[in-house]
Chains A and B, each alone.
Chain A
């Protein structure tokens, strides 16, 4: 049986290599040790969209020839277990037709229930979402009202929506739109990526919403790439809209604390936002990727208010001090140092950003040294994620790519509208090696979300296309090579957002964090996956709950999903079943 102990946050400083130690030289550390010899496995994804019942989905941009800017943005997606059956369901942003057009109305959102056999069923109408009409973009998913079920926040071109999950005693589920009533739907602006996080550690998930630019059909600017034909614009000429921060009042409503919490001034044009505790003070920080504007680092001042430190930290610009076209974003520890790396997707001809933390609030872009920079030059990366597809314990990198201009290849050699996604395998020492892409065909990719939808212990991918289908990529790792950890907050927020977890396996130390946000317009499964390679167990699992409590567990066997509740220890363990899916090869 695993033992549980409770200590306090002070212990953390002893485990963090960087705190108070000055500046490190990046890239000099040893590569992370594999969990055991021969533990690495070939990465193999299988495209299962059709057989999963998702083949009928088609995102709608509303495009009718006038090339309106929002039509390039695309389709958000998220995983959630809306009905609490333990299987990750799926919500897809459907898009919309433009008002005043004769185009058939599009379904703003589609909710697909995971049937537990590798297939999904469309339950949009059954949960009351069939009549929803809005030009939706992204989703953020969390249990904002701490009632035990996940709610959905939808960013749109207009007023954002908060879909409260009202699970009834009879197992019936219906979503109720609460955006304006809850105080998060007042601003009718173009919003993009959003995330829930408990900024002030009061036990209620707050909300940060990234906003893009001031745009309306009346303000549309005539852009071109060949001097003759109107093309989709880029954001330089539009006025940016700063993000909004909504404080959760704990009674089902939010208050706009954007200015009060220190989120102003800000340039706007946000496309990605991610959460991490960079300075290891136990308070969640945010990084924000902005399109053609400086990126932002909001460091929590320890009271739920923030100080923007992007420029002084070295994270705001490229090496020449120039703002790039920031798109999706993610954060993770990709080497053995315990220091985080912030990955930012960029436009074509711009490398992805690989900002390695070299001090508590100091970063250096190591894109070229990481070997992931140069291959990213011809691609336009929107969604991205750090995850461990080969379950070897270190984080690899997936980039969802696709251009905004359908005719770009006509005017720019070597750049394509439909682009291959890219997978970079962690080669150790802060370096990556490009791997065969998990999908053969190029696409106009936008969001990417992760989940273990088939509960076989590895992380699967969902990729959306702008104005196109969705792609479910099943990860086909051999079973039994991971430990999945689901956390439940009791004193803190129910989703345990902000919980930091380390798993030690032999000499390998892995770090994960319970978060929403990251990527682009997406929300991923909040259950954590620790790849163990051939190791039989996690030797020590340590959970730093938001608020400061620390719990430790030992000898947790592989091929399990454990459910840990704050202060209550391990309350459930389930075996992962790679053989439950009949069609598995």
Chain B
């Protein structure tokens, strides 16, 4: 058994594009990743440009000399390649890693000198937690086009996740020099924060916010810095700002609740924490803080109820954290990913679980047990069609898989496709003649089983 001895290298609840970032805070988001060349909303551009003037001025004042970049050498992107890359990006967003790689390969055949291709590969590897390969791919993209938007930034993210914070700062700075944007400043801030230099972290976040005052993640990260420094009121203000700019973000809502508890505004905190619990019923911290708030309000019975639920969630969360650490240390271990997926599913975190299963399946595409679990997960998420498709894949790969046939029959029945259901249950009984469930299901359809 291989166990990582690094504690707390990533305690987070929220699944995001960039996984496994080594941060101190449970629930804290990882670094914003570049997904496309520009996703800055047009209405923010004026503000950002104004901010940029300030930032560029400050960079110049620092006298920092960035190494000169060689000229871009990548080829123009044709419409077909562009479409392939869009499909690859979509596949990545859906965590269909094999398809995403295949599309990247297709694009590479058509445009071997296009920086977008290794950049996409880098993002896929990063999503799979294979940081060395991600770094290599990003470097390939930057070798083709040194100013590739997001290239240095994502390289910074990779260094950050490897806990090489100074190195990450260098990359983020290069990104900013090449493509001014608030996100590198946020990366710089997070790196300084991890290095225990809060003043510099704060400065960097303020720079990001000078470019885009609606940058919710920077507001939130600034809240964490302020909280660490003992300024709970300041942290509360910043967390509220983050939530105002991203009102659906349960993590921000949770932290606003936590800071309200911290400053003694317990009744207010309860409203927010209750909303978090509703959105994330698996969230142990929200339950815990509700218990603490109730306790301080003298509502002992309510406190006990939430505390008990918090304790129930705690052991599951501990197992999840352990598996997350294992996955981080062994990104190519399919069973580690599948184990994580099972725990996440048990916690009701179906989207996270799906991600873990997809990684496991990418690593072991022939593993029908993983695929079976994923089919069940589709069903739990309410996607009966995807569940049926997955079970169909299983029985095509293994025609003697009785449990898959049985489930397939049930799913068809749920979908009103009774003939298909009948065929599936008959197939089940052909493999497993003593399967009572299949026999009863067929009987319910009014059909006798096979002789």
Contacts and interface: CB of A to CB of B under 8 A. Distances in A.
B195 A414 contact: yes
Interface string A490-501: 000000000000
Interface in B270-290: 284-285, 287-289
A237 interface: yes
A227 B296 CA distance: 45
A574 interface: no
Interface in B282-311: 284-285, 287-289, 292, 295-296, 303-304, 307, 310-311
Contact of A377 (B24, B262, B314): B24
B194 to A, nearest CB: 7
A89 B8 CA distance: 40
Interface in A355-379: 362, 364, 368-371, 373-375, 377-378
B370 to A, nearest CB: 23
Contact of A413 (B5, B165, B230): B165
Contacts, number: 125
A221 B2 CA distance: 8
A373 B228 CA distance: 7
A239 interface: no
A233 B2 contact: no
A298 interface: no
A311 to B, nearest CB: 6
Contact of B3 (A224, A312, A322, A347): A224
B287 A321 contact: yes
B289 A224 contact: no
Contacts of B196: 374-375, 377-378, 414
B210 interface: no
B163 A411 contact: yes
Interface in B1-39: 1-9, 11, 24-27
Interface in B186-234: 194-196, 198, 227-230, 232
Contacts of B106: none
B330 interface: yes
A368 B371 CA distance: 46
A433 to B, nearest CB: 12
B329 A370 contact: no
Contacts of A303: none
Interface in A169-210: none
Given A312-B295, A370-B230, A374-B198, A225 B27 contact: no
Given A368-B228, A368-B230, A222 B1 contact: yes
Contacts of B2: 222-224, 227
Contact of A224 (B4, B25, B27): B4
A25 B264 CA distance: 8
Interface string B218-254: 0000000001111010000000000000000000000
A359 to B, nearest CB: 9
Contact of A321 (B262, B289, B322): B289
B4 A319 contact: no
Interface in B150-173: 163-166
Contacts of B344: none
A319 B164 contact: no
A431 B3 CA distance: 38
Contacts of B411: none
Nearest to A376: B196
Nearest to B331: A227
A350 B314 contact: no
Contacts of B26: 320, 322
A369 B232 contact: yes
Nearest to A415: B163
B258 interface: yes
Nearest to B27: A320
B3 A237 contact: yes
B53 to A, nearest CB: 33
Contacts of B164: 413
Most buried by A among B5, B27, B198, B229: B5
Nearest to B261: A319
B307 A312 contact: yes
Contacts of A431: 230
B332 to A, nearest CB: 11
A23 to B, nearest CB: 6
Nearest to A413: B165
By size class, the interface of chain A is: 35 or more
Most buried by B among A227, A312, A322, A348: A322
A157 to B, nearest CB: 20
A317 interface: yes
A374 B3 contact: no
Most buried by A among B9, B230, B284, B285: B230
Contacts of A236: 3, 7, 318, 322
A224 B1 CA distance: 10
Contacts of B7: 234, 236, 292, 325, 347-349
A95 interface: no
A23 B292 CA distance: 13
A384 interface: no
B258 A311 contact: no
Nearest to B317: A322
Contacts of A374: 196, 198, 228-230
A402 interface: no
Contacts of A232: 5
A320 B295 CA distance: 15
B167 to A, nearest CB: 8
B322 to A, nearest CB: 6
B37 to A, nearest CB: 31
Contacts of A369: 230, 232
Given A231-B5, A370-B230, A371-B230, A317 B288 contact: yes
A412 B6 contact: yes
Interface string A325-352: 1000000000000000000000111110
Contact of A349 (B3, B24, B292): B24
B195 A311 contact: no
Contact of B329 (A224, A234, A312): A224
Contacts of B11: 322
A349 B303 CA distance: 29
Contacts of A317: 288
A319 B262 contact: yes
B296 A23 contact: yes
Given A312-B295, A414-B165, A319 B8 contact: no
A322 B285 contact: yes
A223 B195 contact: no
A302 to B, nearest CB: 20
A227 B232 contact: no
Contact of A319 (B6, B258, B303, B307): B258
A296 to B, nearest CB: 14
A405 interface: yes
A223 B3 contact: yes
B230 A414 contact: no
Given A321-B287, A413-B165, A233 B307 contact: no
A314 interface: yes
A51 B298 CA distance: 58
B24 A413 contact: no
A223 B292 CA distance: 36
Contacts of A371: 229-230
Contacts of A413: 163-166, 194-195
Contacts of B25: 320
Interface string A210-239: 000000000001111101000111101100
A362 to B, nearest CB: 7
17 contacts: A221-B1, A224-B329, A225-B5, A227-B329, A231-B5, A237-B3, A317-B288, A320-B285, A321-B314, A322-B284, A368-B229, A371-B229, A377-B228, A413-B165, A413-B166, A414-B194, A431-B230
Q: Which 4 A-B pairs give the minimum distances between C-beta atoms?
A: A321-B288, A320-B285, A369-B230, A368-B230
Interface of B: 1-9, 11, 24-27, 163-166, 194-196, 198, 227-230, 232, 258, 261-262, 264, 284-285, 287-289, 292, 295-296, 303-304, 307, 310-311, 314, 318, 322, 329-330
